[in-house]
């Protein structure tokens, strides 16, 4: 090897090692499960897939745990898990809330929040599932999905947490549903 090429080679090896270390530490580097044949064609390229019945992603291992809140839907309390995103923590800071949710696209109930949430670090491309609690940044509203939603390619839809699917049936019936949302004591 030519001695003059050694410094360039050393820089290239160092840069490659640094790049591999950084990519290994990000959430996006986690392999996602193979998409099912029914959902693979409906997702935009690069949209992370989650199991249909699983909770919203929380945090990488070794970081703080998810937040617990209680949503009372027409008098029935439902314990709900928020993930540890900036937006979810910002949402929890607004609690307690009393909201009137209205139907939107026959798959979610929505309501305006008192103030907009932080979108710092929001992932791009999500596919909302039944039970997801989400924030739609362009409108500043909260959404609770009682049926699977359409994939969102940008970072305008942020999953905040997840309700048990058994609780979502209460949302499907009426056009408007009253809810209170509070921290779990």
- For the chain, what are the domain ranges? 1-30, 65-183
Quick one: DSSP state of residue 152?
B
Residue 64 pLDDT level (bands cut at 50, 70, 90): very low
11-35, pLDDT tens digit by residue?
544 544 433 433 344 444 333 333 3
Return the C-alpha torsion angle 44, 49, 52, 57, nearest 10.
-130
Q: Which residue has the tokens 């549903």?
A: 177
Residue 153 pLDDT level (bands cut at 50, 70, 90): confident
Residue 108: is its pLDDT beyond 50?
Answer: yes
Residue 119: is its pLDDT beyond 70?
Answer: yes
Q: What's the pLDDT at 124?
A: 87
Residue 66: is its pLDDT beyond 90?
Answer: no
Q: Hey, which residues does 136 pair with through a beta bridge? A: 141, 157
3-state percent breakdown (helix, strand, coil) of the chain, nearest 5: 25, 30, 45
More confident residue, 102 or 59: 102
Q: What's the pLDDT at 170?
A: 86
Strand, coil or helix: 171? helix
Q: Which residue has the tokens 């940008």?
A: 154
Q: What's the pLDDT at 173?
A: 83
Q: What's the pLDDT at 48?
A: 46
**Taking the model in full, what pTM does it have?**
0.66
Backbone angles phi, psi at 120, to 5 degrees: -60, 130
Query: Which CATH architecture group holds 65-183?
Result: Beta Barrel (2.40)
Residue 4 pLDDT level (bands cut at 50, 70, 90): low
Residue 2 pLDDT level (bands cut at 50, 70, 90): low
The sign one gets for the Cα dihedral 35, 39, 45, 47 is negative
**From 40-54, 82-96, 129-143, the region with the lowest mean pLDDT:** 40-54
69-95, pLDDT tens digit by residue?
999 998 999 999 999 999 999 999 999
Backbone angles phi, psi at 91, to 5 degrees: -60, -45
Q: What's the pLDDT at 5?
A: 53
């Amino acid at each position: 090897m030519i001695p003059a090429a050694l410094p360039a080679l050393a820089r290239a090896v160092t840069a490659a090692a640094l790049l591999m270390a950084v990519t290994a530490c990000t959430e996006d580097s986690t392999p996602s499960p193979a998409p099912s044949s029914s959902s693979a064609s409906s997702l935009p390229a690069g949209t992370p897939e989650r199991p249909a019945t699983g909770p919203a992603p929380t945090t990488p291992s070794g970081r703080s745990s998810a937040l617990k809140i209680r949503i009372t839907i027409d008098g029935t309390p439902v314990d709900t898990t928020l993930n540890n995103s900036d937006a979810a923590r910002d949402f929890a800071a607004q609690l307690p809330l009393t909201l009137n949710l209205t139907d939107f696209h026959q798959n979610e109930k929505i309501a305006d929040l008192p103030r907009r949430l932080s979108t710092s670090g929001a992932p791009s491309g999500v596919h909302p599932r039944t039970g997801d609690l989400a924030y739609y940044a362009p409108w500043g509203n909260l959404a609770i999905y009682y049926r699977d939603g359409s994939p969102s390619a940008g970072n305008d839809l942020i999953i905040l947490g997840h309700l048990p699917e058994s609780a979502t049936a209460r949302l499907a019936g009426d056009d408007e549903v009253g809810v209170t949302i509070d921290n779990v004591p």
